[in-house]
Amino acid sequence: SVEDDIKWKCAFETLYYCGLRRGELRGLTWKDIYFNDKILSVNKNVCNENGDGGLWYITTPKTKTSTRVIPMPDRLIEDLQKYKSGMMKYKNFKESWFVFGDEAPLRAEMLRHEKNRVARDAKIKQIRIHDFRHSCASLLINNGASILIVARYLGHTKIDETLNTYSHLFKNQ
């Protein structure tokens, strides 16, 4: 509620609603967003050499099942469309641009810095970027999603991984 910049609002909403890993979020391009179908495609990952400050490179997602298609809620679609229309005003805009960057992906430390600033401004507890993934799983489970759906959404290779991490939430359901 304290974030006014549509770019950061979209980044945090994408992490929360889609359960992406940090590198998956950084790797999203506009070609990966299918507004009419209300889905996004996770098909690459952005990593850095020598930690967050090193040169970036594109790799495949973490596992074979991490390459996936994720449905997007209307709220996220509307915000991403608004954000994209602002980005399209740049005369050199291309669909191949990174959603949260441009020709280059968003720097990992910028994502963390902005997350920390927003939490501080909202006077809420600091969480890790990866905790958005856990929040996504909780959202899915609390809305009746099966363990299989949650595992597919998060790109887990084995359902056991999902069960070991989130079984307590299914008990609470």
Residues 115-130: pLDDT tens digits?
A: 999 999 999 999 999 9
Residues 54-66: pLDDT tens digits?
A: 799 999 998 888 9
3-state secondary structure of 101: coil
Specify the pLDDT at position 165.
79
pTM for the model stands at 0.91
How high does pLDDT run on average in the chain?
Answer: 92
Ranges assigned E (strand) in 88-144? none
Does the pLDDT value for residue 173 go beyond 60?
A: no
CA–CA distances in Å: residue 56 to residues 12, 90, 105? 21, 23, 8
